[in-house]
Amino acid sequence: MDFLPPLPLLIAFCGASVLLAVTPGPAVFYIITRSLAQGRRAGLASVAGVALGNLGNALGAALGLAALFAISSIAFTVVKYAGAAYLIYLGIKALRRPAEVRDAALGTADTRRIFRDGFLVALLNPKTAIFFAAFLPQFMSAHGSVVGQSLLLGATFVAIAALTDTIYATAAGTIAPRLRGNKRAGAAGRYVTASAFIGLGLFTALSGSSRAK
């Protein structure tokens, strides 16, 4: 099939993807923060949202979005700052959340909202599309369909990353219930969560093109 790279390349791609996926990056940090602050359920919702956003970037890379970002600094900058602003907004929102809502956060996480947040955080990161555009061609056959192979490899990477992210979310979510009822830990957690989101936003805004995972 012209959308499948040769088997040796596919195996090499899967190995490289696992190594990249297990290396903590902004997306992993975001998922761990959510899991610690709101529990395993919230972490898994974040994993699903981030995976869908990354899949959107893989599709965008396959269709030439990455090429647009590479040649248009304005397009890249607009999307990058939109994503950074959204992360900072989430941090400020966590900091200003009423006390009674914060105390109940572990047990009543709104998974639909958290899924949406994860999706937007991942989708509004143009570096992900550029990463796909730089990484995927290394494992593609020149004789196959460029778009087909890009979509297949992109979806494979997203699936592998979602699996490793699930492990991170599950581990962090296991710790989260121990924080329930501990007012001192809850107050500290609020500031840590807010600082993490704001820090990620500033990091996104100030960083150049690099691997986004």
Give Cβ neighbours of residue 43 (< 8 Å, ≥ 6 apart): 31, 32, 34, 35, 168, 169, 170, 172, 173
158 within domain boundaries: yes
Exposure pattern of 170-191 as b/e (b: 16+ CB <10 Å)? eebbeebeebeeeeeebeebbe
Residue 160 lies in a domain: yes
| Domain membership flag for residue 121 | yes
pLDDT tens figures, 67-103: 776 777 787 778 778 878 887 887 887 777 554 444 4
Average pLDDT over residues 121-135: 84
Rounded distance between C-alpha atoms, residue 146 and residue 143, angstroms: 9
The reported pLDDT for the residue numbered 1 is 56
Q: Is 24 helix (H, G, I), strand (E, B) or coil?
A: coil
By residue range, what is the domain housing residue 164?
Answer: 25-206
Structure tokens at 164: 């490793």
Domain membership of residue 18 (yes or no) is: no
Residue 201 is assigned to a structural domain of this protein: yes
Residue 182 lies in a domain: yes
Would 104 be classed as within a structural domain?
Answer: yes
Tens of pLDDT, residue by residue over 144-203, are: 777 888 889 999 999 999 999 999 999 998 887 765 555 554 555 566 667 777 887 787
CATH classification at residue 164: 1.20.1250
The answer as to whether 7 is a domain residue is no
**pTM higher than 0.85:** no
Give the separation between CA 150 and CA 153, rounded to whole angstroms.
5
When divided into structural domains, the chain yields a total of: 1
pLDDT over 70 (residue 118): yes
Q: Mean of the per-residue pLDDT values for the chain? A: 79
Nearest in space to 96 (alpha carbons), one of 190, 29, 183: 190
